[in-house]
Amino acid sequence: MTKSNERNEIGWNIDTSYARLSHSFFTEQEPNPVESPKMIILNSSLAQSLGLNIGSLHSEGAVSVFAGNAKIEETMPLAQAYAGHQFGHFNMLGDGRALLLGEQITPKGERVDLQLKGSGRTKYSRGGDGRAALGPMLREYIMSEAMHALGIPTTRSLAVVATGEHIIRETELPGAILTRVASSHLRVGTFEYAANFTTIEQLKELADYAINRHYPEIEADENKYLSLLNKVISRQAELITRWQLVGFIHGVMNTDNVTISGETIDYGPCAFMNEYDPATVFSSIDVQGRYAYGNQPKIGGWNLARFAEALIPLLNENEEKALELAQEAVLEYPKMYHANWLTGMRAKLGLFTEEEQDEVLINNLLEMMKNHHADYTNTFRALANEKLEDTNIHLFRTSEFTTWHNKWQERLSKQEESLTSSYEWMKKSNPAVIPRNHLVEEALEAAVENDNYRVMENLLEVLSNPYKDSAESIYCSLPPESFGPYRTYCGT
Ligand code: AMP
Ligand code: MG
């Protein structure tokens, strides 16, 4: 392995605070170099915000860092240890195909992890080759950047580099490495690992690290570990509400995929819902629908209960008291979620004020949408259109809907704010474009099969401004019948 960028033209400003934790939290690991790395896509605006020099990022030195062929200055990459409940079952996991390069300190003084995904096997790889295919890495790039543009906390995608090697899945596929940026990769599963496989001192060390990194404002609290629990609960309640409001289905809400920062992480089997139906599932392995759209809020609570359990030794010396504190905290989650959801739904319907009957109004609409197979995104967006008859939404032509619409209009007319301001607000609360599954697949196919990146670039451009009506209606189109049922996959 060679060292790159001796003179640091690239703009690395790296610290390695995670590597200063006890050794049980990670394993140092040289990435396995790849044959012929080639930059496929680089996120210039993200790079700029990180303080990196865009002009130097296509250089051989930079590309070899993104490929795992060179280290950044004196740093040593590492694989993080973590455990997690996968579909309800506890397992020891850890980065099986990812490596933390270090933490970039941005010009604003923020600290973010730079992580390679698809960089080869590690000590924590169970099965699997430690590699990733180009299609899925581009898919993570598209999905995570779309989420960011929607205003939803998420890990970001900095670059995708093709490795020039093939990997074996069902067929041979071109390999690639994604460089992921996250406010950290600390997960509920990191705490489960600490609680189950390290000492109480190390659990405390991890909790202190998480507080210092994400919630320094609670440092002086009387019971800072309880405050940490409360913070994570509230961030996750906020995050999952935002998913629900845009129809995002994560697909694999295992506890190792739940961040302490409250960012969305792990874009394997995720997808956006078209027709509104709480039972919607895309992931090929989620046969029971554990992570179906409508179950996400409840699963969020289940995952937070696992976080609370992991923290018990720190919450109080008396175990019974600690359990009581943990339970009390976790019970706040459904209330927070419900309040957030109501607030968000009111915004989607242009309701500035709060009335008791609002929830019934909202649920009646959702019920009708489900019965009439109405598209979630387009229906909400169209409601902000003064001429509903101009839209092609079948639901709007039913008598049931007319009754509902009258009630909604009556409710809007009771507000001080004008109808126009309600509609304006709705346009800011209901995206016009989401990464539609068939469009994402089309973009990936053009890229991977035909080496044509234009389709993806155009899609990314539209997705970067999701609250703006797109000039091209194709971006709001529903999948053609020939697209069939959509399936997504983990570990691709
Ligand atoms: P995920 O479904 O991405 O949350 O991954 C669950 C676990 O499987 C993590 O420990 C991953 O690092 C590991 N993993 C996923 N894909 C691979 C792969 N191709 N090779 C090795 N480990 C993998
Ligand atoms: Mg994961």
pLDDT digits (tens, 9 = 90+) for 139-168: 999 999 999 999 999 999 999 999 999 999
Q: Compute, in angstroms, the gap from residue 119 CA to the centroid of ligand 2.
A: 14
| Per-residue confidence band for 7, with pLDDT thresholds at 50, 70 and 90 | low
| Atom of ligand 1 lying closest to residue 491 CA | 16
Short-list 363, 360, 350, 359, CA closest to 415: 350
Q: Is 129 an annotated catalytic residue?
A: no
Closest ligand to C-alpha of residue 269 is: 1
- Cα 221 to middle of ligand 2, angstroms: 31
To test the pocket of ligand 1, the residue of 27, 97, 116, 170 to mutate (highest count of ligand atoms within 8 Å of its CB) is 97
Query: Ligand 2 center to residue 395 CA distance, Å?
Result: 38
Give the pLDDT of residue 135.
Answer: 98
pLDDT of residue 1: 44
Q: Which ligand is nearest to the CA of 94?
A: 1
Which residues are within 8 A (CB) of 221 and not within 5 positions of it... i.e. 6 or more apart? Answer: 227
pTM, 2 dp: 0.97
Closest ligand to the CA of 95: 1
- 334-365 pLDDT, tens per residue? 999 999 999 999 999 999 999 999 999 999 99
Following DSSP, what letter does each residue of 11-76 receive, concatenated?
---EE-SGGGS-GGGEEE-PPPP-SS-EEEEE-HHHHHHTT--GGGTTSHHHHHHHTTSEESTT--
In tens, the pLDDT along 161-191 reads 999 999 999 999 999 999 999 999 999 999 9
Q: Could you tell which of 26, 125, 144 is best to mutate to test the pocket of ligand 1, judged by most ligand atoms within 8 Å of the CB? A: 125
pLDDT digits (tens, 9 = 90+) for 415-434: 999 999 999 999 999 999 99
pLDDT reported for residue 387: 84
Bridge-based pairing state of the strands 78-80 and 26-28: antiparallel
Q: Whose CA is nearest to atom 12 of ligand 1?
A: 96
Atom of ligand 1 nearest to the CA of 256: 4
From CA 56, how far away is CA 66, in angstroms rounded? 13
Distance CA 124, CA 386 (A): 56
Residue found under tokens 């020891």: 92
Amino acid identity, position 74? E
Pick the closest to residue 203 from 329, 62, 309 (CA basis).
309
Nearest atom in ligand 1 to the alpha carbon of residue 94 is 10
When pLDDT is averaged across residues 67-73 and rounded to a whole number, the result is: 95
Mean of the per-residue pLDDT values of the chain: 96
Per-residue model confidence as pLDDT tens digits over 25-51: 999 999 899 999 999 999 999 999 999
Q: Residue 109's pLDDT is what? A: 98
Query: Looking at per-residue confidence, does 8 or 107 come out higher?
Result: 107
| Nearest C-alpha neighbor of 460 from the set 172, 139, 93, 168 | 139
d(CA 279, CA 192) in angstroms, rounded, equals: 29
The candidate with the shortest Cα–Cα distance to 153, out of 265, 293, 50, 303, is 265
* 95, 256, 286, 375: the active-site residue: 256
Report, as an integer, the average pLDDT of 227-241: 99
Averaged pLDDT, 246-273: 98
Q: Which residues line ligand 1 (CB under 6 A)?
A: 93-98, 124-125, 128-131, 252, 256-257, 266, 268, 490-491
Atom of ligand 1 nearest to the CA of 96: 12
> Do the beta carbons of residue 307 and residue 293 sit within 8 Å?
no
Q: Which helix (H) or strand (E) holds 212?
A: helix 200-214
Residue 246 CA, ligand 2 centroid: distance in Å:
22
Give mean pLDDT, residues 288-317: 98
Give the H/E segment covering residue 156: strand 156-168
Compute CA distances 324 → 100, 256, 315, 331, whole Å.
36, 25, 10, 11
Query: What is the pLDDT at residue 352?
Result: 98
Distance 134 CA to ligand 2 centre (A): 18
Of 246, 293, 478, 276, which Cα lies nearest the Cα of 368?
A: 276
- Compute the distance between CA of residue 333 and CA of residue 301 in angstroms, rounded to an integer: 6
In this predicted structure, the answer to whether residue 101 has a pLDDT above a threshold of 80 is yes
| Average pLDDT of the residues in 96-111 | 98
Asked whether the predicted pLDDT for residue 414 surpasses 60, the reply is yes
Kindly state the average pLDDT of the residues 69-75.
93
pLDDT band at 2, cuts 50/70/90? very low
What letter represents residue 425's amino acid?
W
Residue 73 CA to ligand 1 centre (angstroms): 27
CA atoms within 13 A on the CB side of 352: 14
Q: Pocket of ligand 1, candidates 93, 178, 188: which has the most ligand atoms within 8 Å of its Cβ, to mutate?
A: 93
In contact, 32 and 100? CB cutoff 8 Å: no
Closest to 209 in 3D by CA, of 482, 18, 400: 18
pLDDT for 323-335, tens place per residue? Answer: 999 999 999 999 9
Residue owning the nearest CA to atom 16 of ligand 1: 491
| Nearest-angstrom CA–CA distance, 444 and 139 | 7
How far is CA 349 from its chain centroid? 25
3-state secondary structure of 427: helix
Which pLDDT score, from 0 to 100, does residue 5 have? 47
